[in-house]
Amino acid sequence: MMRPDNQVSRREFIASTSVLLAASQLGVAQTAGNDADKLALDGGEKAVTRPAPKPKRWGEPELQQLGAAVQQNSLYYWGNAQTKLLMDRFRAVYGHKFVQPCSSGTASLHIAVAAAGIAPGDEVITSAITDIGTVIGTLFQQAVPVFADLEPQTGCLDPADVERKITPKTRAIIAVHLAGNPCRLAELKEIADKHKLILIEDCAQAWGALYRGKPISSVGDIGCFSLQDTKHISCGDGGVVTSSDEKLGPLLTKFGDKGSNRFNPKDSATRLAPNYRMSELQAAFVAAQLTRLEGIASQRAKLGNLFTEELAGIPGILTHQVRPDDRCVYWFYMLRLVPAKLRCDRATFVKAIAAEGATFTAGYIALPLYGLPMFQNHGFFAGRWPTKECGLTKMDYTKVKCPETEAILQTCMRFQVNEAMDEDYIRAVARAVRTVAKHYAA
């Protein structure tokens, strides 16, 4: 079935591919002379001759800010200088009135669904290719994650399937900007508004990503960020949840801070809420990290986009698709193999790339979230699921199937782009892909 939204994306994609085809053919011609067709696996020259550059992630700014925190008498977050600085610097980029620092990305997402008023048995539509933290809060609120299928070359929610999954119980959508690539937010927002749903953006992997030129989290009702160690901006562990909505905003503090509504003290202790606070030491570190955000984001975007250009036209390889108006920050770069066009399996491809001197990882998470044992057994709470036992849902995760989601996990490879890499390095890795794909072309 052809859908208008997909037609647009396919046309855009084909347009960009054909423009870049000439460039990639040039690249082939340049290397054709020196035994470029022979795999390093078979004793040929390596395409990548130096190790992957690694960034030095922290230094003077972080030390200085931690030093400032140590001069304080209190490391409690609310009202103190480091948290204020974090909030100011976050607002300077994201513009939201309400900014609640918290203990993790998972916490930020739990706070978001609690603030959104998600009740037992309510349904929350999201992706099955994401960190489990996307749905932990939903499950703890006794609500029901419903998995919609994904777009093939972004791994982000397919708005048409989101709409198909809406029922009278649906209350929210959690849009995961997978690998730092913005979802189709305009379409998702339109669906959310039409059905009166809260749109939550999971921006954990997407620090610095732009949707149609604007920072992600500006379309949804609530934005959730992770500061876990592997994310672009980090303090080891932490998170931020944010909103500009006058009703939802104050609730982010309430649900992140044991139920106390600091904006309206009369509204305290009316609901159950955990303590998801961050300390001043983390806030100091994050405030320093935020001064690096634009540099990190723009460099990763540039390198990832270059990789796409260099990979254009290689048979058997699907590149990471980014819509022209967006900035993807490539938490990872996702390639997909087209099995019918290659004579090797994914493990062999990854091995051949390793011999060429680059590192690809086969797959991402081992299973779509609904395939995990706790979903398959409906055994979230000591082997039980009160929501189902009380008749609040008929959900049966053993029957859930998202075909594109499963195909992505079976055919994808990840390449770790980072801000310390340079264009030559990216070109060399692309050369490795070209050599290997050509060798195994069906």
Using N-to-C axis directions, what is the helix angle for 4-31 and 423-439, rounded to 10°?
90
Q: Which of 204, 284, 355, 402 touches ligand PLP by CB under 6 A? A: 204
Q: Which of 131, 158, 221, 280 touches ligand PLP by CB under 6 A? A: 131
Please, what is the minimum distance in Å from the beta carbon of residue 105 to ligand PLP? 2
Q: Which is nearer to ligand PLP, 130 or 393 (CB)?
A: 130
220 touches ligand PLP (CB under 6 A): no
Q: Which residue lies nearest ligand PLP, judged by its C-beta? A: 105
Q: Which is nearer to ligand PLP, 208 or 316 (CB)?
A: 208
Q: Return the range that interacts with ligand PLP (CB under 6 A); candidates 100-108, 157-165, 375-383, 423-431.
A: 100-108
Please give the C-alpha separations between residue 181 and each of 299, 339, 342, 358, 382, in angstroms, as whole numbers: 15, 25, 27, 23, 36
Q: Which is nearer to ligand PLP, 183 or 273 (CB)?
A: 183
Please, what is the minimum distance in Å from the beta carbon of residue 155 to ligand PLP? 11
Q: Return the range that interacts with ligand PLP (CB under 6 A); candidates 201-209, 339-347, 376-384, 412-420.
A: 201-209
176 touches ligand PLP (CB under 6 A): yes
104 touches ligand PLP (CB under 6 A): yes
Q: Which is nearer to ligand PLP, 183 or 204 (CB)?
A: 204
Interface pattern 236-255 for ligand PLP (x via CB under 6 A): ---x----------------
Q: Which is nearer to ligand PLP, 133 or 249 (CB)?
A: 133
Cβ of 8: how many Cβ atoms within 10 Å? 11
126 touches ligand PLP (CB under 6 A): no
Please, what is the minimum distance in Å from the beta carbon of residue 202 to ligand PLP? 5
Contacting ligand PLP within 23-42 (CB under 6 A)? none
Please, what is the minimum distance in Å from the beta carbon of residue 379 to ligand PLP? 22
Q: What is the dihedral of CA 55, 59, 62, 63, to 10 degrees?
A: 160
155 touches ligand PLP (CB under 6 A): no
Q: Which of 202, 245, 257, 310 touches ligand PLP by CB under 6 A? A: 202
Q: Which of 133, 137, 215, 256 touches ligand PLP by CB under 6 A? A: 133
105 touches ligand PLP (CB under 6 A): yes
CA–CA distance, 377 with 398 (Å, rounded to integer): 8
Please, what is the minimum distance in Å from the beta carbon of residue 224 to ligand PLP? 7
Please, what is the minimum distance in Å from the beta carbon of residue 39 to ligand PLP? 34
208 touches ligand PLP (CB under 6 A): no
Which residues lie near ligand PLP (CB under 6 A)? Answer: 104-106, 130-131, 133-134, 176, 202, 204-205, 226, 228, 239
